[in-house]
Chains A and B, each alone.
Chain A
Amino acid sequence: GENVEQHPSTLSVQEGDSAVIKCTYSDSASNYFPWYKQELGKGPQLIIDIRSNVGEKKDQRIAVTLNKTAKHFSLHITETQPEDSAVYFCAASKWRKLQFGAGTQVVVTP
């Protein structure tokens, strides 16, 4: 089955700096890659997604890139703010079953 690895497990950045989280997946048939943000005590919130026919997608301060050949995708957050502090999960999907990475705890310090 699909296996998704996510790095790093924790990421501490200064406010205003950029944050990058990387994920790799094993199943080349996966074709949908969402990213979720989970704040303490809440359910995961979809923040951006990308499909296998697209290489890059941006939404304001966040962007996702996908390299199908290498089977990896990344989340980029620019100009980080304290409210970006949360756990971020990547996922890969085939046949609608989302396989999640282990998560990255992002801490943005003022």
Chain B
Amino acid sequence: EAGVTQSPTHLIKTRGQQATLRCSPISGHTSVYWYQQALGLGLQFLLWYDEGEERNRGNFPPRFSGRQFPNYSSELNVNALELEDSALYLCASSFAENTEAFFGQGTRLTVV
């Protein structure tokens, strides 16, 4: 069974541009979570999608947004990129409340 897959693995953008990151959850999982992991820092909660709807978001500005598609895959969009947005963006999926969340390998976003 395939795990959580994220694309692309690496992304380089210039300041002010937009970035789009994609995530495919484990088959059968309906929830997708996005986390930001800046270099040397822990995991900061960004967004949670379930059944196509945004259920919760972390302390991030509105230029971080996303959506979940009918097949439960998800997209994270970051507008007006800033240098400090450079980080590893991790996606995780789970199928019910308080069940195991499994992470993908992440997308390394570099803003220059």
Contacts and interface: CB of A to CB of B under 8 A. Distances in A.
Interface string B1-18: 000100000000000000
B20 to A, nearest CB: 19
A89 B102 CA distance: 14
A97 B48 contact: yes
Nearest to A94: B98
Contacts of B106: 42-43
B98 A44 contact: no
A98 B33 contact: yes
B66 to A, nearest CB: 15
Interface in A78-102: 89, 93, 95-102
Contacts of A96: 31, 33, 48, 50, 55-56, 94, 97-98
A99 to B, nearest CB: 7
A100 B50 CA distance: 20
A95 B94 CA distance: 13
Contact of A89 (B42, B94, B98): B42
Q: Taking chain B's interface residues, is the majority helix, strand, or loop, or is none over half, making it mixed?
A: strand
B106 to A, nearest CB: 5
Interface string A51-65: 100000000000000
B9 to A, nearest CB: 10
A36 B100 contact: no
Interface in B52-106: 55-56, 90, 92, 94, 97-98, 100-106
B43 interface: yes
A5 to B, nearest CB: 11
A18 interface: no
Contacts of B41: 102
B8 to A, nearest CB: 15
Interface in A38-52: 42-46, 49, 51
Interface of A: 31-32, 34, 36, 42-46, 49, 51, 89, 93, 95-103
Interface of B: 4, 31, 33, 35, 41-43, 45, 48, 50, 55-56, 90, 92, 94, 97-98, 100-106
